[in-house]
C-alpha cells in the first residue's frame, strides 16, 4: 500500500497513528510546512487499506492507495 | 432597466403601509420575512396572502433578527427580499444590516418609525430613527435611506429602494413613519414600473471586484461559479482579509465610496420656491407636507419662504442642502425628534442661521406650528 | 490533500484554521465523503455557517457558502431554502452558535420542519474565543468563564431538538467517522428538518481546560470511551451510562415547510 501524507497541510496531530490498528504509522523526524513534526509510514507492508487514517485525518491530507 | 407590466394597476384609497407592500410586489420582491410590530404589522398581514399570489414566499419569523437574516439568505438565493418593522425591531436588525453591508447584499428594510426610545410610543409617529438608519450598525459604512411623505411615495420609494439595493448591492431603508403608514389616501399604481435589470455575473473568480464606478458585479448563489460570502472584511474573491491592514482598509473604503461616488444618481430632493427664498425649510417625511403648507401660507403672506424636501436622507445630499441654504437668512429644520437631521444641516450650512424645530410626544407638526416659526424668524 | 479533498475543498481558503487534532476537521472529512458517495453536484448544494470554529467548515467547501452571523446561520439558511426549495441547504454550526445565541432560531426551524440539514459540532465549549463555557459544558466543568466550576447543567440536546419538532435527529462522534458519514447521508436524504449532533472534541480549549488532556490523542481516546454505537433500528440501552450514537429519531409524517409553501403558491395563483 502507498500512504501519502501531505507535507504542506499536515499539522502533526498524530490521530492517524492512534487510529491505525496495524502499527503502520509512526511519528517521524520530518517537519511539515507549518513546522509540525509529521508522521510517516514506518511499516507500509502491514497496511490493510482500512483507510481509518484517511477518514480520520482532520486536515484531509492522508491518502491510502494500492501501489 | 426592464419594464414590468403590473396586473394590479389603478387608483385606490390605501394606507402607506399597504402602498409599501404593493410597491414591493410591483418591484418583483419574491420574499418577505417579518415579525409583527406596531405600526408596521399591516405590511406582513397584507403580504401573507398577496405574496403567494405573486409567486413569492411570505414567512412570519420568530423575531426581527430571523426576519432580516432570512431576507439576506433569500437575496443570495436570487430573490428580491424585504422586511418591515419599527424602531425596536430596527434596533434588533442592526447587526444583520451591517452584515448585508459587508457582504454587499441587496435587501430592503421598511422602518415605520414610531415614538422612541425603547418601547416608547407604539402607536404614535416620530422621526427618531433618522440617525439610527445611518449609524445604527457598528463600524464604518454608508447606507441609502428614503423618506416617503405620503402613501403614494411609500409605493414609489419602495420600488426605487429595490432598484437602488440591486444596483449598489447595499441594504436600502425605506424610512416611513406611523403617519405615512396609517394615513389612508389616494395611491395610483401605474401600469408599468422600471426595474433594475442587470445580468448576474458569477463567472469570474474575483466576483466582488468593483467596476470603475466602484459598483460590484451582481452575484448570487447557484450560478456557474461557487461564491464565498463572508462578514469578515474580505478581498475580491470573498476570502477573509481581516488580518491584512491594506485589504481591510480598502474594503471599508469601498463600502463607503460606492455610495458616495454615486451620490448624484442616488440623491432625490424636491425644491419649492427656493430661488429667492429668504427663509428656507429643510424637511423630510410626513413633516415635509406640513412644511409645504406652511411655506405656501408664508408666500401668501408675502414672506419669501421655500422648502427643500429631502427624499433620500442618506447619503446626505450635501450639495443640495448647501445650495438651498446658501442665500437664506434663516433655515428652519422641523423634525419629529429632538433634533437629529438638523445636525447635518448645521454641519453643512453653518450653525448661526439654523433654527431647529423639534416636535416630540408623537405630535406631527401642523402647518400652523411651522408657519408660526417662519413668522417668528422673519 | 487527498483526491476527495481535491474535488470538494476550496483551495484559496486553506489551510484549515482548525487546531491539530480538531474534531471539526474530521467532520469535514466525513462530510465530503458523504456528498461524494451521494453524488452531490456543485450547483445543487449551498452551505451556511455561523461564527465559531465549526462554522468555518463551509468556507473550506467549494460550494456556495454563506458565512454569516453568530447564531444566525439557521435563519439565513431558511431564507435561502425558501426561495430555492429544490437545492440542498446544509448548516454547519457549533454548540454555542446553535444552542446559545442561536437557540431560538433552532427551535423555530425545527418547529417549521423546513428541509435543512444542520450539523451541530458540539465541543462543550466556546472554542474560537478561547474557551468560555457553552450551553453543553458539563456541570462543574472548569472553563475560562467558570473557573470555579460550571454552575449550570448542559442541555439535553435530543429533547430540545426533537421536542421542538425536528423530524430527524442523529448523534455522531468524531471518533466514529464512518457512522458519521452514514448519518450525514441519511440526514441529507431526509426531507424535513434534519439535526445531527456531532460530538467533536476540542483538544485545545476543552481538552486542556475542562479535562486536562495533554494531546489530541488523549482527548479522542476519552471521547471514544464515552460513546457507543447503536445498531440499526436498535434502541438505546437504559442501563448504559455511555452516550448512544446513531439515528435516534425519524418522523416522516409531518409536512415539510417548502412543500406547504408551494401548495400555497399554487392555490393562490389558481
Beta carbons of B63 and C104 less than 8 Å apart: yes
Q: What is the pLDDT of residues B309-337, one digit of tens each?
A: 999 999 999 999 999 999 999 999 999 99
Higher-pLDDT residue of B110 and C270 is B110
Is the CB of residue A34 less than 8 Å away from at least one CB of chain C?
A: yes
**b/e code B186-214 from CB counts within 10 Å (16+ = b):** ebebeeebebbeeeebbeeeebbebeeeb
**b/e code B286-317 from CB counts within 10 Å (16+ = b):** bbbbbbbbbbbbbeeeebbbbbbbbbbbbbbb
- Give CA–CA dist C5/B37, Å, rounded: 47
Mean pLDDT of C217-228: 96
Which of the following CATH numbers is that of domain B271-377: 1.20.58.340, 1.10.10.10, 3.40.50.920, 3.40.50.2000? Answer: 3.40.50.920
Which of B195-204, C2-11, C202-211 has the lowest average pLDDT? B195-204
Number of domains within chain C: 1
The topology under which CATH files domain A2-65 is Alpha-Beta Plaits (3.30.70)
Is the CB of residue C180 less than 8 Å away from at least one CB of chain B?
A: no
Give A15 to chain C, closest Cα distance, Å. Answer: 6
Interface TM-score (ipTM) > 0.85 = yes
Is the CB of residue B61 less than 8 Å away from at least one CB of chain C?
A: yes
Kindly state which CATH superfamily the domain B2-195 is placed in.
Thiamin diphosphate (ThDP)-binding fold, Pyr/PP domains (3.40.50.970)
Distances from the Cα of C86 to the Cα of A2, C43, C111, C189, angstroms: 41, 11, 20, 12
Q: With a cut of 70, say whether residue B374 has pLDDT above it.
A: yes
Mean pLDDT of C106-115: 98
Q: With a cut of 90, say whether residue C235 has pLDDT above it.
A: no
Higher-pLDDT residue of B214 and B154 is B154
Residue span(s) of chain B under CATH 3.40.50.970 come to 2-195
Mean pLDDT of chain B: 95
Contact list, C28 vs chain A (CB under 8 Å): 58, 60
Q: With a cut of 60, say whether residue B347 has pLDDT above it.
A: yes
Q: What is the pLDDT of residues B31-76, one digit of tens each?
A: 999 999 999 999 999 999 999 999 999 999 999 999 999 999 999 9
Return the CATH number at C140.
3.40.50.970
Is the CB of residue B240 less than 8 Å away from at least one CB of chain C?
A: yes
Beta carbons of A63 and C3 less than 8 Å apart: yes
Distances from the Cα of B132 to the Cα of B172, B309, B314, angstroms: 13, 20, 11
- The whole domain housing C194 covers 3-268
Beta carbons of A55 and C19 less than 8 Å apart: no
Indicate the residue of C76, C104, C261 with minimum beta-carbon distance to B57: C261
> Taking CA atoms, what residue in A is nearest to C181?
A55
Identify the pLDDT of residue B134. 97
Number of Cβ within a 10 Å radius of residue B10: 10
Q: Which of B49, B57, B108, B206 to mutate to test the interface with C (most CBs of C within 10 A)?
A: B57
Q: What is the pLDDT of residues B132-178, one digit of tens each?
A: 999 999 999 999 999 999 999 999 999 999 999 999 999 999 999 99
β-strands C64-67, C45-49 pairing: parallel
Model confidence at B202, pLDDT cuts 50, 70, 90, reads low
- Give CA–CA dist B21/B352, Å, rounded: 42
Model confidence at B203, pLDDT cuts 50, 70, 90, reads low
Is the CB of residue B65 less than 8 Å away from at least one CB of chain C?
A: yes
The secondary structure of residue A46, as a DSSP letter, is G
Model confidence at B207, pLDDT cuts 50, 70, 90, reads confident
Is 0.95 surpassed by the pTM of this model?
yes
Beta carbons of C65 and B71 less than 8 Å apart: no
β-strands B184-189, B10-15 pairing: antiparallel
Residue span(s) of chain B under CATH 3.40.50.920 come to 271-377
Mean pLDDT of C170-188: 97
Grid coordinates of C95: 454548540
Is the CB of residue B81 less than 8 Å away from at least one CB of chain C?
A: yes
Is the CB of residue C214 less than 8 Å away from at least one CB of chain B?
A: no
Q: With a cut of 90, say whether residue B348 has pLDDT above it.
A: yes
Q: What is the pLDDT of residues C238-259, one digit of tens each?
A: 899 999 999 999 999 999 999 9
Q: With a cut of 90, say whether residue C231 has pLDDT above it.
A: no
> Taking CA atoms, what residue in A is nearest to C215?
A13
- C-beta of residue C19 within 8 angstroms of C-beta of residue A15: no
Query: What angle, rounded to 10 degrees, do the helices at B94-102 and B64-76 form?
Result: 20
Neighbours of C, requiring at least 3 CB pairs below 8 Å, are: A, B
Give residue limits of the domains in chain A. 2-65
Amino acid at each position: 500500500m502507498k500512504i501519502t501524507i501531505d507535507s504542506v497541510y499536515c499539522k502533526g496531530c498524530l490521530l492517524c497513528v492512534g487510529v491505525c490498528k496495524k502499527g503502520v504509522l509512526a511519528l517521524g523526524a520530518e517537519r511539515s510546512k507549518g513546522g509540525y513534526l509529521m508522521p510517516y509510514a514506518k511499516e507500509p507492508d502491514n497496511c490493510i487499506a482500512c483507510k481509518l487514517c484517511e477518514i480520520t485525518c482532520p486536515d484531509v491530507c492522508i491518502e491510502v492507495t494500492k501501489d | 432597466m426592464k419594464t414590468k407590466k403590473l396586473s394590479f394597476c389603478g387608483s385606490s384609497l390605501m394606507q402607506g403601509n399597504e402602498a409599501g407592500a404593493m410597491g414591493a410586489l410591483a418591484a418583483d420582491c419574491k420574499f418577505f420575512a417579518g415579525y409583527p410590530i406596531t405600526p408596521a404589522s399591516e405590511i406582513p398581514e397584507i403580504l401573507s396572502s398577496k405574496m403567494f399570489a405573486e409567486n413569492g414566499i411570505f414567512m412570519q419569523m420568530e423575531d426581527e433578527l430571523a426576519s432580516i437574516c432570512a431576507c439576506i439568505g433569500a437575496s443570495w438565493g436570487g430573490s428580491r427580499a424585504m422586511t418591515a418593522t419599527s424602531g425596536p425591531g430596527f434596533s434588533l436588525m442592526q447587526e444583520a444590516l451591517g452584515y448585508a453591508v459587508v457582504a454587499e447584499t441587496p435587501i430592503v428594510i421598511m422602518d415605520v418609525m414610531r415614538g422612541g426610545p425603547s418601547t416608547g410610543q407604539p402607536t404614535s409617529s416620530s422621526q427618531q430613527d433618522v440617525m439610527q438608519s445611518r449609524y445604527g450598525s457598528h463600524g464604518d459604512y454608508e447606507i441609502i435611506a428614503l423618506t416617503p411623505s405620503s402613501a403614494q411615495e411609500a409605493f414609489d420609494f419602495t420600488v426605487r429602494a429595490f432598484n437602488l439595493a440591486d444596483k449598489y448591492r447595499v441594504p436600502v431603508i425605506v424610512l416611513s413613519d406611523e403617519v405615512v403608514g396609517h394615513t389612508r389616501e389616494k395611491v395610483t399604481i401605474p401600469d408599468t414600473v422600471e426595474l433594475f435589470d442587470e445580468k448576474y455575473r458569477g463567472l469570474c473568480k474575483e466576483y466582488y471586484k468593483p467596476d470603475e464606478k466602484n459598483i460590484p458585479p451582481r452575484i448570487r448563489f447557484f450560478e456557474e461559479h461557487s461564491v464565498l460570502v463572508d462578514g469578515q472584511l474580505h478581498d475580491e474573491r470573498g476570502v477573509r482579509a481581516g488580518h491584512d491592514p491594506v485589504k481591510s482598509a480598502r474594503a471599508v473604503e469601498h463600502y463607503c465610496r460606492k455610495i458616495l461616488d454615486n451620490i448624484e444618481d442616488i440623491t432625490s430632493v424636491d425644491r419649492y420656491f427656493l430661488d429667492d427664498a429668504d427663509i428656507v425649510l429643510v424637511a423630510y417625511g410626513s413633516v415635509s407636507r406640513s412644511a409645504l403648507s406652511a411655506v405656501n401660507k408664508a408666500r401668501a403672506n408675502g414672506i419669501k419662504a421655500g422648502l427643500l424636501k429631502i427624499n433620500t436622507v442618506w447619503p446626505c445630499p450635501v450639495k443640495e442642502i448647501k445650495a438651498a441654504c446658501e442665500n437664506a437668512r434663516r433655515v428652519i429644520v422641523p423634525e419629529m425628534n429632538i433634533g437629529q437631521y438638523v445636525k447635518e444641516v448645521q454641519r453643512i450650512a453653518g450653525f448661526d442661521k439654523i433654527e431647529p424645530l423639534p416636535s416630540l410626544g408623537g405630535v406631527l407638526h401642523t402647518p400652523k406650528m411651522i408657519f408660526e416659526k417662519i413668522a417668528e424668524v422673519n | 490533500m487527498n483526491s476527495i479533498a481535491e474535488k470538494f475543498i476550496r483551495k484559496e481558503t486553506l489551510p484549515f484554521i482548525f487546531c491539530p487534532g480538531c474534531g471539526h476537521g474530521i467532520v469535514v472529512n466525513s462530510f465530503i465523503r458523504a456528498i461524494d458517495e451521494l453524488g452531490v453536484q456543485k450547483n445543487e448544494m449551498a452551505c451556511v455557517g455561523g461564527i465559531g470554529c465549526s462554522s468555518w467548515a463551509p468556507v473550506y467547501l467549494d460550494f456556495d457558502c454563506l458565512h454569516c452571523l453568530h447564531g444566525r446561520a439557521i435563519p439565513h439558511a431558511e431564507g435561502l431554502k425558501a426561495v430555492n426549495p429544490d437545492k440542498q441547504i446544509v448548516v454547519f454550526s457549533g454548540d454555542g452558535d446553535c444552542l446559545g445565541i442561536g437557540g431560538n432560531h433552532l427551535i423555530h426551524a425545527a418547529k417549521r420542519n423546513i428541509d435543512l440539514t444542520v450539523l451541530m459540532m458540539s465541543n462543550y465549549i466556546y472554542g474560537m474565543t478561547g474557551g468560555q463555557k457553552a450551553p453543553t459544558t458539563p456541570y462543574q466543568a472548569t472553563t475560562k468563564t467558570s473557573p470555579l466550576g460550571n454552575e449550570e447543567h448542559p442541555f439535553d440536546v435530543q429533547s430540545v431538538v426533537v421536542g421542538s419538532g425536528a423530524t430527524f435527529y442523529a448523534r455522531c462522534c468524531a471518533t466514529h467517522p464512518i457512522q458519521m458519514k452514514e448519518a450525514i447521508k441519511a440526514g441529507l436524504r431526509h426531507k424535513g428538518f434534519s439535526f445531527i449532533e456531532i460530538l467533536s472534541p476540542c483538544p485545545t480549549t476543552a481538552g486542556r481546560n475542562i479535562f486536562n488532556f495533554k494531546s489530541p490523542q488523549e482527548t479522542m481516546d476519552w471521547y471514544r470511551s464515552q460513546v457507543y454505537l447503536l445498531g440499526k433500528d436498535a434502541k438505546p440501552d437504559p442501563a448504559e451510562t455511555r452516550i448512544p450514537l446513531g439515528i435516534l429519531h425519524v418522523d416522516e409524517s409531518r409536512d415539510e415547510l417548502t412543500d406547504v409553501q408551494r401548495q400555497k403558491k399554487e392555490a393562490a395563483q389558481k
